Structure 1
């Protein structure tokens, strides 16, 4: 069955490689899920976005939280968040300029982090990594929409 224009929605936002961009990505995802009438998957989508964006920012040259304008201007690294509504799934992609793939860690109960890819794997239908010809990498996840 051919997709119609109504079946396809796309969002793309560049985010500075700063820790505060994770909350921006979460808010953007929440607002988009509401706009696209996908409130039934908002929590899972928001968590997947948060984990993938966090990983992308960590491997990129992170801009200090209290950066001066000259630091931002001279070192502006970005990651890009893409959200595609391709009925019957939501595709989440995050591009960053580094080629190192994310690694899944076996976190212990005492670890404060290290569960991100486990969460992405658990919540998504499938996920993966691809290396675009222009450079960097894209980490993606597909979230089944189910019945609305």
Structure 2
């Protein structure tokens, strides 16, 4: 594994922008998919893979933010989802990089408001702060997908060649 909307808002249902074709563990039309076991020690390799993949695909400008988003969404899915594991899909289409995390908890994601001394509960707050758009969509068989997208920088005429 190399791996409603609006900035700061949108825990509503919906589809991510330009959901593209994905392929298992290799680049295919700028898409990558990986299933992960429900083990928290696998979160860091997923984050590193997301960052490396986006750099490989030529969009390093969004790699670090998407890596942090991956960390938060995967941890949430592992803690609150199905113990059978989660699926992570990373795509780059048109003007967006999109990360989707599918888990076995069909409930909608809820932004918590933790106390200053709480050790957790800030994952979706970070996703809201980093993502240009994010949301979720219910799946089948009690599953759901939480997604976040980052707008890619525009390619100038000097970058197009």
**Residue of structure 2 in register with 1:82 after alignment:** 89
Pairs aligned (count)? 128
Deviation of the 1:9 alpha carbon: 1.0
CA distance in 2, matches of 1:79, 1:47: 17
Q: 1:28 aligns with which of 49, 65, 69?
A: 49
TM-score (normalised: structure 1): 0.79
Asked which structure has the greater RCO (Cα within 8 Å, sep 6+), the reply is 2
Is 1:60 equivalent to 2:81 in the alignment?
yes
The offset of 1:135, in angstroms, is 4.1
**1:46 offset after TM fit, Å?**
0.3
Mark the CA change 1:93 to 1:61 in structure 2 (over 3 Å): closer, same or farther.
Answer: closer
For the residue of structure 2 that corresponds to 1:40, the secondary structure is: helix
- How do residues 1-148 of structure 1 correspond to structure 2 at under 5 angstroms? 8-62=29-83, 77-147=84-154
- Is the partner of 1:106 in helix, strand or coil? coil
SS in 2 for 1:20: helix
Q: Is the 8 A contact 2:102 2:143 kept in 1?
A: yes
- For residue 11 of structure 1, give the secondary structure of its aligned residue in structure 2: strand
Consecutive unaligned residues in structure 2, runs of 5 or more: 1-20, 22-28, 156-161
**Which of the pair is proportionally richer in helix?**
1
Structure 1 residue 61 displacement after superposition: 5.0
